[in-house]
Amino acid sequence: MLLDLITSGTRQKLLFKFFLFENSNGFLNQLTSELKISLNGLRVQLDSLEGLKILTSKKDYLGRIIYTPDKSYPFYEEMRYIVKSYAGLTHLDQAIQKFGEGITEVSLGGLWAQAIDDGIAEIWVAGHLIEKENFGQYLNAHLVTKGKQVRVHFVDDTTDPDYLMAKKNGRTYFTTLESKEDWDIIA
């Protein structure tokens, strides 16, 4: 769907980067190496998105121009929903709501955690999940149809060494506070 609406590969990567996770940002050199895009092509798209008021920029203390999504953009929430849907994170949200009893934290791993769509959805689930099988089957059923290879890893708690390594290289998607009703969705 996103591929049909936005034909520029560079623009797709930028929208994925900036709208997949809350509070995403980046500067020119970081984005070039992270997204593997030429400097000139990237600069053109960043200027265009800034001109459309989709992104905003400001200089940091080192003089680098930091780009962030403009939360005052009239379609900010809709853009986030479209990008999250394209990435399959809306299905992860639904799986958490349906089968997430006992989850304490979920982290995304691999390139997906860096907002780079490589076709692999790596998900780390910490906690004493009662419905592990249903959780995994639900994600497989919904994300595979989006062309993603799904890898779900279950660990008992957030101090598991494998989980800590994945979290160090990944990104926390959500964490629980005290109960299912208090979930703080970070993405």
Confidence of residue 62 (pLDDT cuts 50, 70, 90): very high
> What are the sequence ranges of the domains in the chain?
2-81, 88-185
Q: Are 14 and 49 in contact (CB under 8 A)?
A: yes
Residues pairing with 106 in the sheet: 125, 174
pLDDT class for 182, splitting at 50, 70, 90? very low
- The pLDDT tens digits for 71-130 are 999 999 999 888 888 777 888 888 888 887 888 888 888 777 766 777 788 888 888 877
Decide if pLDDT at 5 tops 70: no
What is residue 67's predicted lDDT score, i.e. its pLDDT? 96
DSSP string, 165-183: HHHHHSEEEEE-SSSGGG-
Rg (CA), the chain: 17
CATH architecture of 2-81: Orthogonal Bundle (1.10)
CA distances from 176 to 24, 93, 125, 128, 180 (A): 21, 13, 12, 13, 7
- The reply to whether CATH 3.30.1370 applies to domain 88-185 is no
CB-count exposure of residue 97 (10 Å: 0-12, 13-18, 19+): exposed
Cα→Cα distances 112→53, 96, 182, Å = 26, 18, 25
* Distances, alpha carbon 36 to alpha carbons 1, 49, 144, 158, 169, in Å: 23, 18, 25, 32, 19
pTM (two decimals): 0.70
Q: For residue 171, is pLDDT > 90?
A: no
Tell me the one-letter amino acid at 41: G
